[in-house]
Structure 1
Amino acid sequence: MIVHSSEAEEEDRAPLQVASPQSAKRARNVTRGFLSAVAAHTGAETDAVLLVVSELVTNAVRHAGGVTGFRLVAGPGTVTVSVEDSSATAPRPQRSKSGEPGGFGWHLVQELSADVRVSIGPRGKTVSALLPLSH
């Protein structure tokens, strides 16, 4: 997770934790509101954050029984997206069958993020992705 260098910065960049969004659409809407409060502009960085949110939430819903926690944290020049679920199975690349959608999400998350961490505990896992974001 991101550690803020001062209390003033922490107040300006307070994390957003919401009731677990059970759809990528709802998570994207929450993220858009968060980004509009912390980002100086929209663009490719914002699109990357929204895509990572979509992929992490969709993966939790499809493969892990749903989202149990969702958190956004702005740091100096970054945003961290964290999605929790109740599965203790770490994400892994999936091979998609020809003509079937899917199989690219985990790869996209890793490509778009500066850092991706998976923490597995007794209640499931948290996948956190750190992305660059202009402020």
Structure 2
Amino acid sequence: MDQTADDDGREPTAEGPLAVSRLFEGSEGIATARHLARDFLTEVRSLHGLPVSGRAMGTVELVVSELVTNARKYAPGPCLLTLVVRGGIIEITVRDSNTALPAVSARDPHRIGGHGLEVVMAVCRNFQVHREPSGKRVTAMLELTDGPDGHATGPHP
């Protein structure tokens, strides 16, 4: 991790990953998941001195919204959202009870809806799906900072 000072002079912390998790069940809205992500990244930036770009903030909210929406729509029961920041990367993980792996539909610009997974895969540095004994785990990774061109830094698969 780059140990340069932030704009306000604070040094980024190097004490290990920062994380938050929340179980979503019942009638909790997707907006709650987005607010959790925004509040978490705001804390990462303000309390821990780690840089988080505006682009990253918005993209994380989008990805959280799409992944939690899919879990709530296609899996019975609750889903667990976990956000972990380490080394300038945020890992967004959603676990649900459906063992069926998500499939990306063939590209069709005329299709109404069903583009969420395509969008997530397009904006993330890495995207993985793993079947687990009680369901599946979907993880997306994004950089928290922008390169000189205003886009995400680092290689994309």
What TM bracket, shorter-length normalisation? Answer: 0.7 to 0.9
Please state if 1:68 is matched with 2:79.
Answer: yes
Choose 115-124 or 91-100, whichever is displaced more.
91-100
Partners of 1:70 and 1:129 in 2: CA distance: 12
Instruction: State how many pairs are aligned.
Output: 125
> Where do residues 92-131 of structure 1 align in structure 2 (5 Å cutoff)?
92-94=103-105, 100=112, 102-131=113-142
Partners of 1:105 and 1:66 in 2: CA distance: 21
Unaligned runs of 5+ in 1: 1-7
Q: Partner of 1:50 in structure 2?
A: 61
Q: CA RMSD in A?
A: 2.3
Partners of 2:69 and 2:109 in 1: CA distance: 18
Q: What percent of counterpart residues are identical?
A: 33
Shift of 1:117: 0.9
Please state if 1:20 is matched with 2:20.
Answer: no
Give SS of 1:90's match.
coil
Counterpart residue identity of residue 39, structure 2 = G
Cα distance 1:108–1:67, how it changes in 2: closer, same or farther (>3 A)? Answer: farther
The Cα offsets for residues 6-31 of structure 1, whole Å up to 9 and x where unpaired, read as xx522xx3211122264321100100
Q: Which has the higher contact order (CA 8 A, sep 6+)?
A: 1
Contact 1:23/1:58 (CA < 8 Å) preserved in 2? Answer: no
More helix by share: 1
* TM-score for the superposition, normalised by structure 2: 0.71
Aligned partner of 1:38 among 37, 44, 62: 44
Q: Which has the larger radius of gyration?
A: 2
Cα distance 1:98–1:131, how it changes in 2: closer, same or farther (>3 A)? Answer: same
